[in-house]
């Protein structure tokens, strides 16, 4: 019997594991010593206590919260693994399983049609048998412009897909191919290739002009904006039966939306795609992409199949997650748009303990994991109670069901009629869609909550990050969009954390303890960070302002405990930055943006969840703005903050900086001018002075935006004045309460 070679391999990095676990043990010892030091304060004789109890207790609580957040993070560092795939070992094309590609777009005003259609075209150009590849674009705005743009994209794909295949191009996205300075000519350099390439480039320029003309002509008024929440379902198969060129099927789907019905954001759109695609193609695997995440590597689908087609892979594998990477990241990524800590550190650790979460985009998932598996003896009435009244959809759930779509005109017409019913806004009424099957609705972070439930049921996942980037998207390039995006990313997991689905109590079933802690870290991270950072940014400073020491003297042996914890944290994070191929400035930017997000996005995201729990605010979903502004992009590439954002974001950030300036300057003046024994004051207050100085030097960009800069992107004077009022109020009231 011929030996079959594995299609993938898993590598355990033992050196990294040893370093991570050794650091965790040593850092834990230092934290325990800190806890002992703080607790010993409460057991002193009352006559020996010279420091107010309240500020000591508050800073102790902040230290405990941050320590708990650090403890949860260690789960993602416990057993990192790395995977390699061998797509050249896959079986013949006729034996590969079919794939449905889901592309979701929600707002044509924030998601440029040229980018969206490039994603569609790149998906159609994947190196996969065209008869086994079906591309679905979900237009949640119900925009006629998007439908027309989709038809234009298909017309161009008729030429682009054969061109890419013929010359073996490694770039599937036409916009990148024609704008890139890299020489991607496949195996051809002759005159025939050059002539065809020139014709193709001309066709692409015509496509861009047509797309822009369609969009510009469609949005002169607010009519289209109003229709985004009130429109019927529209499903159209773009391919024509008489097409001679063999390219993947392209289907436009716009579900019905009415103001009286909850549409459940992106999860609702994905579930409609699940039902509609079942009627048309019913592929066993689904590749989900955001509308700006074009396929950078045509072999990405084959790489995912290396897990599903491998006999060594357990049947419990639910999905393969690729990292989210972006093509417009600047050298000085001041907003940390690449999210390095997640896709270059945490997800490897997640993979080693059961698999990463669904990360919003760039994942290939098994349809069975979302819908379940049923045989022909299953009770149809029971299935209808679960999945809805459509007999035709129930048939798709049975094993080996093959849709008859495209085989004859009558079947195609009836399938589309049934698909429109499945896309109606009332179809899910009195079913378990979104609660037990499909993508789950409980949180706006449908990816996190769906992944948690899949892993809880015993499903597994893997993380694959090949050397060549598989998908490339467009990240935010200004401070405002970045903070809004992170506010939304915060509210989703925190909603789960503060509910009966909290991973610490809901998670265990078929999940390991370490994987449970990984999910808990993601759920609680925003809440823990905002609480602890507000404590560290305000409490020691108020006490410094009033001459109250919260840390040991420099000569006190206990001072070494705090020094060790600080050095340990900084050195470990710097080590991870360097080992992931980044430079020192990345570490600096990550620390700075972590502080900024903690007092802005994390704070507002958590408040949003709390208000929602109290019934004072409804959950909202704001699509990330993908429209680029040349001036904002220029500032981003220069590494200059664009502070043109709402006062609600600037006020807490500037207030914290002003409080630290007042406390630090006041302490320096007191030590140098006022206090007769300046040396003793320095020794007594050094810890708090250093903390304020570290915060100020790390966030010098904010000080620069307030005082030095004179450009349009500086911090507005009105925001600074409001922050002065807030900081004076906090200094006054805080001094009265704490001291």
Backbone angles phi, psi at 312, to 5 degrees: -80, -10
Could you say which DSSP state residue 5 is in?
P
CB atoms within 10 A of CB 258: 14
Maximum pairwise Cα distance, the chain: 96
Both tokens of 398, joined, read: 């049975």
CA dist 504 and 508 (Å) reads 8
Distance of CA 548 to the CA centre of its chain: 42
Residues in CB range of 691: below 8 A, 6 or more apart: 536, 540, 541
CA dist 599 and 167 (Å) reads 52
Q: Are 609 and 495 in contact (CB under 8 A)?
A: yes
**Is residue 175 a known part of a binding site?**
no
Both tokens of 243, joined, read: 């097409």
CB atoms within 10 A of CB 626: 22
Q: Are 251 and 237 in contact (CB under 8 A)?
A: yes
Exactly one of 100, 107, 127, 140 is catalytic; which is it? 140
**Is residue 266 a known part of a binding site?**
yes
How would you classify the pairing of strands 363-366 and 317-321?
antiparallel
From residue 253, alpha-carbon distances to 119, 396, 440 in Å are 16, 19, 20
Closest CA to 492 of 523, 466, 461, 460: 523
Task: Calculate Rg over the CA atoms of the chain.
Answer: 28
Exactly one of 297, 333, 447, 608 is catalytic; which is it? 447
Let me know if 447 is a catalytic residue. yes
Both tokens of 73, joined, read: 């993070």
**Is residue 400 a known part of a binding site?**
no
Could you say which DSSP state residue 94 is in?
G
Closest CA to 338 of 496, 469, 449: 469
Let me know if 94 is a catalytic residue. no
Q: What 3-state class would DSSP assign to 486? A: helix
Q: What 3-state class would DSSP assign to 551? A: coil
Q: What 3-state class would DSSP assign to 426? A: coil
Number of H-type helices and E-type strands within the chain: 27, 13
Q: Are 83 and 462 in contact (CB under 8 A)?
A: yes
Q: Are 304 and 464 in contact (CB under 8 A)?
A: yes
From residue 97, alpha-carbon distances to 120, 403, 578 in Å are 20, 15, 40
The residues carrying an active-site annotation are 140, 447
Residues annotated in a binding site for UDP-alpha-D-glucose: 110-111, 140
Residues annotated in a binding site for Mn(2+): 266, 290
Residues annotated in a binding site: 110-111, 140, 266, 290
């Amino acid at each position: 019997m011929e030996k079959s070679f594995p299609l993938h391999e898993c590598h355990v990095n033992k050196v990294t594991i040893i370093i991570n676990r050794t650091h965790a043990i040593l850092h834990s010892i230092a934290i325990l010593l800190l806890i002992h030091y703080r607790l010993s304060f409460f057991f002193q004789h009352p006559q020996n206590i010279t420091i107010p109890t309240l500020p000591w207790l508050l800073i102790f609580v902040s230290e405990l919260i941050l320590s708990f957040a650090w403890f949860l993070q260690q789960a993602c560092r416990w057993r990192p693994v790395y995977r390699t795939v061998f797509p050249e070992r896959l079986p013949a094309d006729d034996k590969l399983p079919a794939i449905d590609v889901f592309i979701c777009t929600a707002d044509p005003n924030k998601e440029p049609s040229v980018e969206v259609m490039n994603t569609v075209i790149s998906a159609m150009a994947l190196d996969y048998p065209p008869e086994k590849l079906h591309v679905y674009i979900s237009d949640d705005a119900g925009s006629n412009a998007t439908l027309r743009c989709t038809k234009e994209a298909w017309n161009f794909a008729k030429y682009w897909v054969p061109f890419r295949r013929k010359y073996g191009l490694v770039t599937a996205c036409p916009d990148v191919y024609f704008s890139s300075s890299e020489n991607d000519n496949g195996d051809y350099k002759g005159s025939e290739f050059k002539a065809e390439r020139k014709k193709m480039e001309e066709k692409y320029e015509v496509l861009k002009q047509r797309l822009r003309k369609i969009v510009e002509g469609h949005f002169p008024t607010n009519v289209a904006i109003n229709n985004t929440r009130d429109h019927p379902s529209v499903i159209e198969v773009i391919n024509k039966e008489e097409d001679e060129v063999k390219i993947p099927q392209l289907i436009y789907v716009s579900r019905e939306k009415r103001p009286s019905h909850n549409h459940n954001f992106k999860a609702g759109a994905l579930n409609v795609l699940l039902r509609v695609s079942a009627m048309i193609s019913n592929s066993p695997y689904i590749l989900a992409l955001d509308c700006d995440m074009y396929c950078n590597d045509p072999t990405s689908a084959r790489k995912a199949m290396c897990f599903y087609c491998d006999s060594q892979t357990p049947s419990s594998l639910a999905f393969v997650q690729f990292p989210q990477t972006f093509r417009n990241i600047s050298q000085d990524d001041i907003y940390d748009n690449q999210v390095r800590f997640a896709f270059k550190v945490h997800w490897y650790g997640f993979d080693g303990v059961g698999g990463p979460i669904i990360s919003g985009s760039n994942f290939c998932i098994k349809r069975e994991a979302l819908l379940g598996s049923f045989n022909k003896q299953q009770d149809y009435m029971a299935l209808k109670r679960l999945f809805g009244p459509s007999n035709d959809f129930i048939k798709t759930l049975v094993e080996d069901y093959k849709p008859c779509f495209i085989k004859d005109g009558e079947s195609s017409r009836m399938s589309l009629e049934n698909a429109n019913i499945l896309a109606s806004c009332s179809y899910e009424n009195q079913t378990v869609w979104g609660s037990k099957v499909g993508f789950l609705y409980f949180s706006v972070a449908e990816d996190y909550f769906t992944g948690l439930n899949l892993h809880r049921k015993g499903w597994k996942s893997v993380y694959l990050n090949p050397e060549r980037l598989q998908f490339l998207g467009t990240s935010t390039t200004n401070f405002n969009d970045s903070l809004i995006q992170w506010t939304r990313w915060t509210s989703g997991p925190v909603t789960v954390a503060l509910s009966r689905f909290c991973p610490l109590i809901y998670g265990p079933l078929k999940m390991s303890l370490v994987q449970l802690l990984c999910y808990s870290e993601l759920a609680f991270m925003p809440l823990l960070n905002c609480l602890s950072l507000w404590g560290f940014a305000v409490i020691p400073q108020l006490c410094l302002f009033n001459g109250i020491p919260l840390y040991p003297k420099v000569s006190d042996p206990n001072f070494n405990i705090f020094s060790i914890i600080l050095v340990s944290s900084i050195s470990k994070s710097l080590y991870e930055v360097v080992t992931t191929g980044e430079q020192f400035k990345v570490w600096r930017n990550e620390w700075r943006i972590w502080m900024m997000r903690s007092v802005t996005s994390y704070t507002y995201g958590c408040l949003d969840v709390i208000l929602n729990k109290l019934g004072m605010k409804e959950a909202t979903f704001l699509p990330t703005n993908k429209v680029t502004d040349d001036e904002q992009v220029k500032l981003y590439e220069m590494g200059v903050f664009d502070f043109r954002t709402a006062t609600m974001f600037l006020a807490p950030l500037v207030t914290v900086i002003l409080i630290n300036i007042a406390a630090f300057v006041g302490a320096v003046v007191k030590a140098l001018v006022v206090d007769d024994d300046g040396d003793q004051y320095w020794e007594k207050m050094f810890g708090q002075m250093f903390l304020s100085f570290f915060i100020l030097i790390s966030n010098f960009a904010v000080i620069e935006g307030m005082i030095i800069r004179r450009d349009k992107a500086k911090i507005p004077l009105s925001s600074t004045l409001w922050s002065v009022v807030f900081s004076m109020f906090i200094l006054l009231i805080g001094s009265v309460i704490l001291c």
